[in-house]
Structure 1
C-alpha cells in the first residue's frame, strides 16, 4: 500500500511539476496576429475617397469611429504606445529625435530608429514579451522593432533606410509578400508592418490635396492586396488583422500673418538657452541656462497667442507626457495649423501633426478583421493606449504593466474569444497553482486525499 501511495504522490507531483513561474497556456485556439500601421492616416481620409477594401474590413470586422493617439502626436512615440500600452511619459520615447541635453547631440528620425538606448529604457514592447512566452515575432519597418531590449531582439526584423522611398507601391506589395512568408514558412505568431504613407504625402502637399487623396487610394489598394494575400496563404481562418495608424494630419498656415517665430519675440534671447529642440512641427523643448528658467518662462508664457508654454511640472496632466526625465524644464506646443520656428523660419511643410491629441485632425483609424473579431461592428472612439491589452489578449500572452484596460476593447471580440476561448492571461495558470489549464480541481483533490488515506494504511 505504501508503494501505491508513493506512486500516486509521484503522479500528482508530475501533474504539478512545470517550472515555477512559467505560464501554461491553453493551446489550439491561438490565432496569428498582423498589426499594420499606415503612418499619418487621418480618421476621415476615407470620406472623400473611395476605399472599398477598408470599407469591406468594416463590414466583415470591426471599425472604430476614430482612435485618439497619445500626446505628443508624433510617429515614434505613438507607435511605441501601441506596442507597450503606455502613455509616452511612461515609456520614455518622447520624441522622434534622439537628443542629449548634456552634449547637445540631436539625431534625425531615421538615425534614431537604430539608437538602442533611446528605445530600451525600461519598457518592454510586445515583441519581446511574446517571445519570452514562447512565441515568434517579426517587425517590418515598424518603429522600435530593430533594436535590442534587455538583451533580446525581435525574431525577424527589417529596418528602413534613410533614403527609403515611401511611395513605391510595387515595393509595398513585395514587403507584404515577405511578411506572408514570415507568417507561413517561418512560423511567426505576431508581425508588425509599417508603411510611411499617407504621412509623407500629407506633409508635402497637405491633407486636403489631390496627391493625398491619390495616396489614400493606393493605401486602400494595398489593403486589398494584403487581404488577398492572406486568403491565398491559407491564413484567413487563423490570422487576425488590425490596420491602424499613429496620428492624423492638419493643414499648416504657412502664409499666416502671425507665425510663431522665436527669433522675433521681444525680450527673448537664445543666449539664455543651454539646449533647444525647436523647428520640429508644433512642439518645442528648452533647457534654460542655470538661473535663467524664471526669466525665460516669463518672457515666453505670453509671447504669442497661438503658443502654449509651460514649466514641466505645470504641463497639463491629461497629456500624460511631461513626467519623464527626458523632458526639459520648459516645453510647449502651438495651436492647430501653427508650427514653431526657432532661430530661423525653416519649416515649409503644407501638412503637419504633433498637435493636441484632442484636435479632431489628429485622430486616426482602427480596423480589425479575423476569426476572433465580431462582424459589422462600429465602436465608439477610444485611446490608442488600450490597443496593447487587446493584442496580448489575441495572442494569449500575459501583458507587461501598462496604462491600458482590456475592458475598453473587449467588446470587439466574438463571444467565444471574449469568454476565454482564446489562450489569454485570464486562462493562464502558473506552476504552483492548484488549477491545471484544463481545470481539474476535483481530480487533484481526489489524488491528494487518496494519497493521504493510502499512506495511513499499514
Structure 2
C-alpha cells in the first residue's frame, strides 16, 4: 500500500514538473538608479565647488573621465548606455528621425515617440530586465517612450513639447516620484534624466558663468537625491550611477566657419537628402551617380571639415556599418559646426565632435552597497556601463560590445553568488512528502 501511494505521489509530481521547464532565474541583489545629467563635461567640477559630487566620490567610485560613443549626441549616446552597443550596432544614429526618400525629419522630442527609430533589434536594459522578472521605470530618459518588440517600460514619465529642463523644483518632484517608484511600486531599476547642464552649455557656452551656476544646481540635486535615498531607507538596498552622454565644446565664431554653400564645386542641388545644420555633424545622400562628385568637392575643402564615405569610416568611430548611415558622413573639428546654405545655428556651445576630443569626455560616479569607497578608476568607454548594470541587477545581458572586466574592479563582490537555479514548483514539498512516507 505504501509503495502504491509513493508511486502515485511520484507520478503526480512528475506530471506537475513536466509542464515547468528547468531554467535559470536571476535575482537582483540590489536596486539600481541610473542618473544622467545631459552634457556634463568631465571637468565641469573643476572650476565650481561641488561638495555633493565630491562626497559621492568619497563614498563610492569616480572615473577620471568616460569616453562616449560617436556620434556624441544625446539619443545615440544614451542608447549606448542602455544597450552596451556602439551606435552603428544599435542603429539610433541621430537625435532626429529621418527618411531619405520623403525628406521627413522629426524633432528630438517627436522622435522619442517613434518606436521604429528605437526598435532595431537591440533591446535596452529595461526590457531585458523585465523579461527576467524585474520591474523597471524611465523618467524622461531617452528611449523610454518607445516600444520594443511589443514591450514598453513598466512605468514611465515623458516630457511634453516645449518642456523646460532647468526647473529645479520639478527636478526635486521627479526625484520624489522615483523614490516612490522604488518603495511603493517596488521597481528594481529606474533611469532618470535631467536635461542640464546641456541646455545652458548650448546657450551660453561651456566657459560661461551661467554654466557654472547650473553645475552648482546639478550638485545640489545630487545631494538631494542622496538625502531622499536616506529618507526612504534605501541606503543599503540601492546602487546609484551618475553619468552623462557627452561633453560640450565652445563654438568657433569667425570668417572661417564651415558653410557648405561656399565650398567650390559643391552644390546642394547634387543632393537627394541631407541632415545638416545640426551641430558639427552632417549626413548626406547624393543624387544617383553624383556620390564621387560630391565627395571630391567636400573632401579637403576646409581644414576643419572631416568627410568620409561610410564604407571608409575609421573603425575606431564605430559609425559606418549600419544601413541608416548615409553614403557620406561629415563632422567638424572641435568647435566647428557645419552650416548648409547659411548660418542657422547660433549656439555658443556644441557637442557631436570626435569622441577622442577631451571636450566630449564626460563623467562617471557610482555609490551604493555594491561599490568600493574612495576609488578613482582609469577612463573607460561608455559602452561598458551596460555590462556593469546587468551585473548589479543580476541579469543576463544581451549581446553587447562592452566588457565587465573593464569595470568589475569597482565592485566589492560579484553577483554570481546571487544566481540561483529555479526548480519546478512543488519540488521541495515533494521531497518532504517522500521523507514522510518513507
| TM-score computed with the length of structure 2 as normaliser | 0.93
**Structure 2 unpaired stretches of 5+:** 432-437
Aligned to 1:329: 327
Deviations 1:144-197 (A, max 9, x none): 001111011111101111211111101100110111111111111100000000
Aligned to 1:20: 21
Aligned to 2:435: none
Q: How much does 1:271 deviate?
A: 1.2
Q: What secondary structure does 2:79 align onto?
A: helix
Q: 1:15/1:163 Cα in 2 relative to 1: closer, same or farther (>3 Å)?
A: same
User: Is the 8 Å Cα contact of residues 391 and 415 (structure 2) preserved in structure 1?
Assistant: no
User: Is the 8 Å Cα contact of residues 244 and 364 (structure 2) preserved in structure 1?
Assistant: yes
Q: 1:123/1:3 Cα in 2 relative to 1: closer, same or farther (>3 Å)?
A: same
User: Is the 8 Å Cα contact of residues 18 and 431 (structure 1) preserved in structure 2?
Assistant: no
Counterpart CA distance in 1 for 2:5 and 2:46 is 73
Deviations 1:84-123 (A, max 9, x none): 0100001000000000001110111111111111011111
Counterpart CA distance in 2 for 1:293 and 1:165 is 41
Q: What secondary structure does 2:407 align onto?
A: helix
Counterpart CA distance in 1 for 2:271 and 2:297 is 13
Counterpart CA distance in 1 for 2:177 and 2:85 is 30
Q: 1:45/1:267 Cα in 2 relative to 1: closer, same or farther (>3 Å)?
A: same
Q: What secondary structure does 2:129 align onto?
A: helix
Q: What secondary structure does 2:36 align onto?
A: strand
1:3-402 pair list within 5 angstroms:
6=7, 19-20=20-21, 22-25=23-26, 27=27, 30-254=29-253, 256-402=254-400
Deviations 1:361-397 (A, max 9, x none): 1000000000011111111000000100111111111
Q: What secondary structure does 1:98 align onto?
A: coil
User: Is the 8 Å Cα contact of residues 17 and 431 (structure 1) preserved in structure 2?
Assistant: no
User: Is the 8 Å Cα contact of residues 72 and 353 (structure 2) preserved in structure 1?
Assistant: yes
Deviations 1:396-438 (A, max 9, x none): 1111111111111111110xx32634x3xxx354779xxx9x9
Aligned to 1:448: none
User: Is the 8 Å Cα contact of residues 59 and 375 (structure 1) preserved in structure 2?
Assistant: yes
Q: 1:17/1:33 Cα in 2 relative to 1: closer, same or farther (>3 Å)?
A: farther
Q: 1:408/1:3 Cα in 2 relative to 1: closer, same or farther (>3 Å)?
A: farther
Aligned to 1:449: none
Q: What secondary structure does 2:77 align onto?
A: helix
Q: How much does 1:302 deviate?
A: 1.3
Q: What secondary structure does 2:297 align onto?
A: helix
Counterpart CA distance in 2 for 1:247 and 1:419 is 29
Counterpart CA distance in 1 for 2:141 and 2:310 is 30
User: Is the 8 Å Cα contact of residues 130 and 136 (structure 2) preserved in structure 1?
Assistant: yes
Aligned length: 428
Q: Does 1:418 align with 2:414?
A: yes
Q: 1:371/1:309 Cα in 2 relative to 1: closer, same or farther (>3 Å)?
A: same
Aligned to 2:434: none
Q: How much does 1:14 deviate?
A: 8.8
Counterpart CA distance in 2 for 1:217 and 1:53 is 10
Q: How much does 1:23 deviate?
A: 2.5
Which of residues 388, 401, 404 in structure 1 aligns to 2:402?
404
Q: 1:338/1:50 Cα in 2 relative to 1: closer, same or farther (>3 Å)?
A: same
Deviations 1:47-76 (A, max 9, x none): 000100000111000111100000000000
Q: What secondary structure does 1:107 align onto?
A: coil
Counterpart CA distance in 1 for 2:19 and 2:369 is 31
Deviations 1:22-56 (A, max 9, x none): 4223x5x7111100000000000000001000001
User: Is the 8 Å Cα contact of residues 20 and 430 (structure 1) preserved in structure 2?
Assistant: no
Counterpart CA distance in 2 for 1:85 and 1:397 is 14
